[in-house]
Structure formats: C-alpha cells, structure tokens
C-alpha cells in the first residue's frame, strides 16, 4: 500500500470535509435580517467563513455583534441537520489515509460541540477527531496558534505536518506555522485568492486530494468525455 506523504494530516472542517457553506451563509443572512433588518449577499457572508464567528461579527458591528452571534448560533444549530451536505468521497478518503498509516485530525474555528455535530451530520464522526477548536486558543486563523497548539497536543513537529483547507486564512495559518499547505476549491475560497497565498498545491476534487496526500503527485483531472 502507498504510504502517505505526511504522517499527520490536519483538515479544516467547513467547506473542506463537510459542505456547511449553504448553512453558514443562510445563518449569517438570518442573523443580519433579524438583528439589523439587513439583507446580505452570499459573497459577503462567504468572506467571513474560516474566521471565528464572534470576532467577525464584532468587527462588523461592535454594538450588536453579540446579538448577531447568539441569533446566528441558535438558527445554525436548529438547521444544521436540514442544510448540511456531504462531499462525495470524503469518507473513503479518510478511510484510505488511515489505512495507509496517516493520522487525520481536524483544526477548525468552530467550537468542539458544533464541529462534532457537523461531523455526525455528514457521517464521518467515527473517522476523524477534533484536536483544535475555537475554545482551545486565544488567537485564531490566519494566526498559526491553532495549528501549533494542535501539533503540540499530538507531540509532533509542525513542519512535519500538512494542513488542508478551503479558505485563504487556512493557507496563511499553515504557512505561518511552518506546515505544508493544500488548498481545495470546492469550499468558500476562490481559486485565484487561494493561489495568491502560495499553497503547495491547489486541488479541485477529493480524488485529486487523496492522490496528492498519498504520493505527493499532483493528479490532473481527466477531461470530461
């Protein structure tokens, strides 16, 4: 069996392993509608993905940020099961990587409880664990602290690990932590913006990601017939 290029693989969650993007965008829109009577476009909501929720909302509205945060979380929790979506191939990828000898973990800006709820919602909670969550650090992506704390928890050298994410803050955090960085294009980030952060590679499918993680070879997707 092919050995993994990295023995320790950290994954972002939202937009990387689980398609929570529609849920997150709708949650932001609901919160702004309820608290501020404001309609926000998808692109504006997507720009906040990957950052800690409360920090982004307080930056947007210092006076009502906590109200926005509470309203968002209540609606998000109530609608997670209805709106969360699976990415085809993710369970198989995690199983394949584990069988090849890799340790797979999540570092996310979500709280641990909501991260586990999302994992259960897409049926991969038994395949991967959360080693880095919002409550574990005081600084957050794009700061490297979440990744450095996760690496320390596992007793590994950060430079021997890789971080996989869909947002520019993921790649910036990985670079700052000294980790390899892989950007995926099926989440919140735009390819051009991801490429500008200088990841090791940018991949467009789960199968392409699996191949790269297993042997380090960038697989060019086959053209449709």
3-state secondary structure 173-218: HHHHHCCEEEEECCCCCCHHHHHHCCCCEEECCHHHHHHHHHHCCC
Domain 8-19+85-215 has CATH 3.40.50.1000: yes
Please compute the mean of the pLDDT values over residues 83-111 and round it to a whole number: 96
Tell me if 108 sits within 8 A of 71, measured CB to CB: no
Catalytic, 14? Answer no
Q: Cα–Cα distance between 111 and 97 in angstroms, integer?
A: 25
Q: How confident is the model at residue 163 (pLDDT cuts 50, 70, 90)?
A: very high
- Fold topology of 21-83: DNA polymerase; domain 1 (1.10.150)
User: What's the confidence (pLDDT) of residue 2?
Assistant: 78
Task: State the virtual CA torsion across 87, 93, 94, 98 in degrees, nearest 10.
Answer: 180
- Of 12, 14, 69, 170, catalytic: 12
User: What's the confidence (pLDDT) of residue 223?
Assistant: 39
pTM of the model: 0.88
Residues spanned by CATH 1.10.150 within the chain?
21-83
Residues spanned by CATH 3.40.50.1000 within the chain?
8-19+85-215
DSSP tag of 159 = G
Q: Which two structure tokens, joined as six digits, stand for 141?
A: 């992506």
Please compute the mean of the pLDDT values over residues 18-37 and round it to a whole number: 96
């Amino acid at each position: 069996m092919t050995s993994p290029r990295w023995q320790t693989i950290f994954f972002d969650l939202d937009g990387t392993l689980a398609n929570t993007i529609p849920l997150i965008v709708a949650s932001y829109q609901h919160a702004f509608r309820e608290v501020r009577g404001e309609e926000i476009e998808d692109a504006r909501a997507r720009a906040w993905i990957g950052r800690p929720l409360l920090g982004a909302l307080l930056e947007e509205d210092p006076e009502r940020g906590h109200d926005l945060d509470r309203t968002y979380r209540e609606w998000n929790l109530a609608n997670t099961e209805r709106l969360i979506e699976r990415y085809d191939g993710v369970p198989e990828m995690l199983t394949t990587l584990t069988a090849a000898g890799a340790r797979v973990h999540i570092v996310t800006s979500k709280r641990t409880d909501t991260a586990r709820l999302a994992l259960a919602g897409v049926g991969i909670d038994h395949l991967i664990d959360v080693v880095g969550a919002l409550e574990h650090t005081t600084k957050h992506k794009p700061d490297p602290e979440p990744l450095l704390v996760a690496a320390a928890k596992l007793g590994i050298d950060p430079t021997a690990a890789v971080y996989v994410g869909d947002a520019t803050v993921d790649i910036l955090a990985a670079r700052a932590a000294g980790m390899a960085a892989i950007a995926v294009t099926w989440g919140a980030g735009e390819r051009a913006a991801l490429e500008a952060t200088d990841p090791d590679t940018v991949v467009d499918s789960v199968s392409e990601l699996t191949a790269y993680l297993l042997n380090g070879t960038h697989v060019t997707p086959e053209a449709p017939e």
